[in-house]
């Protein structure tokens, strides 16, 4: 399957990412505005992929990544960040993120990463 959960506090970013994914054959089964909501929806929906913003209120992306990986070590998580957060991106990879993309989104980069992780 190709189901995706989008976790980002920016409504505009969620909209743009949803559009890119749907146009390329992915099914967005849920969206969350913060890390805690994202973790809860991950447990409920069990998506194939998660796109996870690093900077969010309530629980940031790094904390959320750790919680999701503790719940499901096989989770396929792509971190999303603004440019200039290289250290946080590297931390996320060390903690189990599959890959990362930077805003503004490049369709080919996102789809290439997700296609490479399909089973």
- Per-residue pLDDT at 91: 85
- Per-residue pLDDT at 102: 83
The answer to whether the beta carbons of residues 62 and 88 sit under 8 Å apart is yes
Closest by Cα among 47, 48, 79 to 63? 79
pLDDT of 82 over the 90 cut:
no
Q: Can you tell me the mean pLDDT for 70-88?
A: 86
The answer to whether the beta carbons of residues 37 and 52 sit under 8 Å apart is no
Q: How far apart are the first and last CA of the chain?
A: 9
pLDDT tens-digit map of 6-25: 999 999 999 999 999 999 99
Angle, in degrees to the nearest 10, between helices 86-94 and 61-71: 10
Ranges of each domain in the chain: 3-117
Which architecture does CATH list for 3-117?
3-Layer(aba) Sandwich (3.40)
DSSP label at residue 7: E
pTM value is: 0.92
CA–CA dist 81, 45 (Å, integer): 23
The fraction of the chain above a pLDDT of 70, given in percent, is: 96
- Per-residue pLDDT at 44: 97
């Amino acid at each position: 399957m190709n189901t995706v959960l989008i976790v980002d506090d920016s409504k505009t970013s969620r909209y743009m990412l949803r559009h890119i994914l749907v146009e390329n054959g992915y099914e967005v089964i849920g969206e969350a505005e913060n890390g805690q909501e994202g973790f809860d929806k991950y447990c409920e929906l069990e998506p194939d992929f998660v796109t996870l913003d690093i900077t969010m209120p309530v629980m940031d992306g790094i904390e959320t990544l750790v919680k999701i990986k503790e719940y499901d070590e096989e989770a396929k998580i792509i971190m999303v960040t603004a440019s200039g957060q290289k250290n946080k991106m590297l931390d996320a990879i060390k903690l189990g993120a599959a890959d990362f993309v930077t805003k503004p989104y490049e369709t080919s980069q996102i789809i290439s990463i997700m296609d490479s992780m399909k089973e």
